[in-house]
């Protein structure tokens, strides 16, 4: 995400700076390794990365809901054992903003949401990791990213079981569901990244400039109201789960 946000020129500057470090040269890398090996026009837009991640992550949680709502397994955490006190929602409103992952959940097990996110992050490194930093696919840099990502996925799978948040079956099911979901979305639903339509942008700019002052004010007010609603809902969730003073 950071590489997609910065753009091709700034990422190239960062690579040149890193390659000039002594430690980087000791590892056998030179300034030639930071040469932009890809096409600048192929540098992914941040919106494309976030859009794909959001859609696939939402579909993954929809699949999770279809499984753990049908058959609820007994949780393995201490607060889920017989005799433990559960922090249940105290009102109907709390059902819509109370995050049980923070306050202690016992039913959303198969499959693991932790592993869903980690595997999707690994898949996005596989797809966008080299392009974001202008490196060749499966080059030295890309392989290092994949190696670090794979290690983090493995570490997450071990720690999530050790902390008794999930059973091993939750991790296993997520480990093949998330990559297949990623592949299905990218090959069937959303095959190509969106491109900037310069003509449409220029036409919208001209249309906006021709609007009356009251129409421009109304457009800006609608945008601000949407942002205010988002901030309000976010503050409501934070306050309801962490008891922060708003």
Residue 79 gets which letter from DSSP? G
Residue located via tokens 């999530």: 160
- Give the whole-angstrom CA distance, residue 11 versus residue 177: 33
Q: Which residues carry out catalysis?
A: 114, 166, 170
| Helix and strand numbers, DSSP H then E, in the chain | 11, 0
Burial 88-114 (b: 16+ CB within 10 A, else e): eeeeeeeeeebeeeebbbbebbbbbbb
Convert the pLDDT of each residue in 177-234 to its tens digit. 999 999 999 888 888 877 777 777 778 888 888 888 888 888 889 889 998 988 887 7
Contacts of 173 (CB under 8 A, 6+ apart): 110, 111, 112
Distance of CA 130 to the CA centre of its chain: 17
Instruction: Say if CB 118 and CB 125 are below 8 A apart.
Output: no
Convert the pLDDT of each residue in 97-143 to its tens digit. 666 555 566 767 788 888 899 999 899 888 887 777 777 777 777 78
pLDDT at 225 (0 to 100): 92
Q: Where are the beta strands (DSSP E) in 91-219?
A: none
Other CB atoms within 10 Å distance of the CB of residue 237: 15
User: To the nearest 10°, the Cα dihedral for 50, 51, 57, 62?
Assistant: 160
């Amino acid at each position: 995400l950071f590489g997609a946000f910065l753009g091709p020129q700034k990422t190239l500057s960062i690579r040149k700076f890193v390659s000039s470090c002594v430690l980087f040269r000791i590892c056998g890398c030179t300034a030639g390794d930071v040469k932009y090996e890809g096409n600048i026009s192929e540098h992914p837009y941040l919106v494309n990365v976030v859009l794909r991640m959001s859609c696939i992550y939402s579909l993954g949680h929809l699949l999770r809901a279809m499984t753990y709502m049908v058959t609820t397994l007994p949780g393995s955490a201490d607060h889920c054992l017989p005799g433990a006190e559960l922090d249940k929602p105290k009102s109907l409103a709390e059902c819509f903003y109370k995050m049980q992952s923070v306050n202690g959940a016992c039913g959303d097990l198969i499959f693991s949401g932790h592993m869903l996110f980690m595997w999707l992050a690994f898949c996005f490194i596989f797809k966008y990791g080299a392009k974001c930093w202008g490196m060749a696919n499966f080059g030295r840099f890309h392989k290092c990213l994949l190696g670090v990502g794979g290690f983090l996925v493995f570490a997450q799978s071990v720690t999530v079981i050790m902390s008794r948040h999930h059973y091993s079956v939750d991790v296993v099911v997520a480990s093949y569901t998330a990559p297949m979901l990623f592949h299905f979305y990218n090959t069937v639903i959303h095959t190509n990244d969106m491109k900037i339509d310069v003509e449409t942008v220029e036409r919208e700019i001209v249309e906006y400039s021709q609007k009356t002052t009251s129409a421009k004010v109304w457009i800006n007010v609608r945008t601000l109201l949407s942002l205010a609603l988002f901030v309000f809902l976010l503050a409501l969730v934070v306050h309801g789960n962490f008891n922060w003073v708003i």
